[in-house]
Structure 1
Amino acid sequence: MARLRSDSLLIPHEPGKPDFASERKLIRSGIEFVAGIDEAGRGPLAGPVVAAAVILNPRKVPDGLDDSKRLTPQRRAELFDIIVDKALACAVASVSAPMIDASDILKAALEAMRRAVCGLAIQPGHALIDGRDVAPGLPCPATALIKGDQRSVSIAAASILAKVTRDRMMAQTGKYFPLYGLETHVGYATEFHRNAMETHGPVVGLHRFSFSPLKERQV
């Protein structure tokens, strides 16, 4: 595969939006493939934490990439398909609620990130990770960027893949547990969800028993 020329990396930058500056700097230093990594689902009471890794094609960076939280569900779904079509490589991985309970949510999120990077069809020379922590065991050097999904288009792309994938997983799970409304709140601690857990009890394998208020119920 031919190396990507740095003079092909100039893309428009919209103020207040993520750009390709971090990736461009790494590529100009001689690193050919840069992956963006982000996760979705640290806060919910139910379901897995999901991470995604994306290596964008510098010549085909999709328009409109942004922090998934700043996009509508419809726009996230549209960009999901565009990212999968145009990226050089992308991968998604998850860590289940029981595994979260067996360690903690930070370790679980970092493990999901590691799995996502290892699942890429192209091994990156460097990874850009949203947040403060670098996942241990990555197959490449990495840099953590606070609010990275608002700074790097690669991380923004990963945030979209992780969010859309997790939402779809929770909607599918909701078909098997219709009393909990998972397709609506995707596991977050809404009043409806808390009331459903109180009425019907938590589901082993689905709910996070190490999270409040379930943690207090185990004491």
Structure 2
Amino acid sequence: MLQNKFSIYQYECGTDEAGRGCLAGPVTAAAVLLPDDFKLSILNDSKQLSEKMREQIRPVIENNALCFSVSHISHTIIDEINILNASIKAMQESIAKLKPTPNYIIVDGNRFKTINNIPFSTIIKGDSKFMSIAAASVLAKTYRDEYMNQIHEEYPMYNWKKNKGYPTEEHREAIRKYGVCKYHRMSFRLLPEQLKLDI
């Protein structure tokens, strides 16, 4: 069972992102503020859950959270400021939309820049240790998957409905065959053998 709280602060939010390693689409972050007595035994890091389980858990999180927020940072911003800064920006934007405002932040990973001088802790594998980070992980993943399913309709040849923009062999084969589209991250190594992509 995951832990409810890391700090002694009343309003501690957890935050996490999804889509950092993708070749296309946004990086998406969520921030979640859960009540102290929140319990959900099957909640875990979203990568440990099936797509079906994530979809079942999402409304439970949304209906029981004190508040939650999700933010997408586009591929164009990722190319401008790099994926690490874009991931942090997505988390900061999600936190900024929370009401009540959190007075402590716990972050999955080891890098973060505070927002509004709110104290924070970075926690390696935090999404498999704390409820609020795991909840944020599930929301970030499900909202990003929804986004990729939508843009799949525009560019079905990349099969984003299945690979969600990750660098699968199928996705890379489609890039070789059809070239890139407006949603691809041009700052990423889209093909293993590329030095640069001719566009």
* Whole-angstrom distance in 1 between the partners of 2:118 and 2:190: 38
- The superposition leaves residues 66-122 of structure 1 with CA deviations (integer Å, 9 ceiling, x where unpaired) of 100111111111111100000000000011101101111000000000000001121
* Whole-angstrom distance in 2 between the partners of 1:139 and 1:201: 44
> Which sits farther off after the overlay, 192-201 or 160-169?
192-201
Corresponding residue to 2:170 among 192, 207, 215: 192
Residues 28-43 of structure 1: pairs in structure 2 closer than 5 A: 31-43=9-21
The total of aligned residue pairs comes to 196
* Whole-angstrom distance in 2 between the partners of 1:141 and 1:164: 28
Where 1:53 maps in the other structure, the secondary structure is: strand
Corresponding residue to 2:78 among 100, 103, 110: 100
Where 2:95 maps in the other structure, the secondary structure is: helix
Where 2:13 maps in the other structure, the secondary structure is: strand
Corresponding residue to 1:144 among 119, 122, 130: 122
Tell me: CA distance 1:65–1:116, structure 2 relative to 1, closer, same or farther (3 Å). same
* Whole-angstrom distance in 2 between the partners of 1:34 and 1:190: 36
CA contact (8 A) 1:61 1:86 kept: no
Residues 17-166 of structure 1: pairs in structure 2 closer than 5 A: 18-22=2-6, 26-27=7-8, 31-138=9-116, 140-166=118-144
* Whole-angstrom distance in 2 between the partners of 1:98 and 1:120: 25
Task: Specify the structure having the higher radius of gyration (Cα).
Answer: 1
The gaps in structure 1 that reach 5 residues or longer are: 1-13
The gaps in structure 2 that reach 5 residues or longer are: none
The share of aligned pairs that are identical, in percent, is 37
Corresponding residue to 1:183 among 132, 157, 161: 161
* Whole-angstrom distance in 2 between the partners of 1:96 and 1:64: 31
- Root mean square deviation, CA, Å: 1.5
Greater relative contact order, per chain length (Cα 8 Å cut-off, separation 6+)? 2
- The superposition leaves residues 36-75 of structure 1 with CA deviations (integer Å, 9 ceiling, x where unpaired) of 0000010010010000000001123333211001111111
1:211 matched residue in structure 2: 188
Q: Which amino acid aligns with 2:188?
A: F
CA contact (8 A) 1:110 1:136 kept: no
- Relative to the length of structure 2, the TM-score reads 0.93
Where 1:94 maps in the other structure, the secondary structure is: strand
After superposing on structure 2, the runs of 4+ consecutive aligned residues of structure 1 that deviate more than 4 Å are none
